[in-house]
Amino acid sequence: MKSMEHAAKLANRKINLLDAFIIGIITIAGVFCLVPMLHILALSLSGNSAILAGKVTLIPLEMDMTAYKAVFGNTQMLRSLAFTVFLVLLFTAISMAMTVMAAYPLTKSNLRGRNLFLLIIVMTMFFSGGMIPEYLLVKNLHLLDSVWALVLPGAVNAFYLLIMKSFFSSIPVELEESARMDGASHYRILFGIVLPLSLPVLATLSLFYAVGRWNGFMDALLYITDSKLYPLQLRLYEMVMNSQVADIAEGLSTTAPVPESLKAASIMFATVPILLVYPWLQRYFVSGMMIGAVKG
């Protein structure tokens, strides 16, 4: 009996040590993620002299909101923000609709050519046409300088599609069989049974699609020349790379902030909105991250 109790104590001690190790790793990773953002926030709120002197680290010095006044007073940045929100909503809706419509049939064992379709989908994860063929395709489809150039080429992510298929396959088949016996069609089963039970994967993949589109700028850099269609990240990219301070600080009667302060304020302006989405989807996100453990 004593030996069993001793073994149980050793096992609990190992589990506690493992938990402490995991917590330590997560804490270190969190610090590495948080420190750069705190530094950018401090730069955006600090005065010019403190920034130029290189004294700003994680705490703002000589508190100054001039950089934020410049960013929020810039019509181009605000227009890009509004367009990006619209673009993310449109892209996420279309991507999720196409992903669901592609994943659901692939869960059916009686679908002819299912293995071939899966093979083709998996191959796209390892091979692509390349930048030049993709640009020529978008050009030949007359999508340049249109919102569809930022939506259609990347509307379906093969990895996300396979994740959704895996989740759909984990739903008990008895639910579908009973619905079919009651005369339900595939559309009725999909919208009445499968999707309501798939909120974790729907929320998680919606978040992934939205974040990917929010952070994307390379496709806009290639396909968009009309400044009215510049997403926020492309506007931020141009500002950071070219330091176009005059355009950002137009209309200010006070002393203009230094480029580093403007860059930091613009980065916060482009980052905070998408970060605010996470708390709303957190309860689904935790469940969705376990999707890989279900059967395929």
Domain chopping of the chain, boundaries: 2-52, 66-293
Q: What's the pLDDT at 246?
A: 47
Q: What is the CATH number of domain 66-293?
A: 1.10.3720.10
Q: What's the pLDDT at 5?
A: 58
The predicted model gives 216-230 an average pLDDT of 89
Min mean pLDDT across 115-119, 144-148, 185-189, 291-295 is at 291-295
Q: What's the pLDDT at 8?
A: 55
When comparing pLDDT for 129 and 40, which is higher?
40
pLDDT confidence of 264, banded at 50, 70, 90? Answer: confident
Q: What's the pLDDT at 84?
A: 93
Mean of all residue pLDDT scores within the chain: 81
Q: Region of 183 please: left (phi>0), alpha (psi -120 to 50) or beta.
A: left
Does residue 125 surpass a pLDDT of 80?
A: yes
pLDDT confidence of 259, banded at 50, 70, 90? Answer: confident
Does residue 93 surpass a pLDDT of 90?
A: yes
The predicted model gives 12-37 an average pLDDT of 81
The whole-model pTM stands at 0.79
Q: What's the pLDDT at 152?
A: 92
Q: Cβ distance 71 to 244 under 8 Å?
A: no
Min mean pLDDT across 23-32, 52-61, 89-98, 238-247 is at 238-247
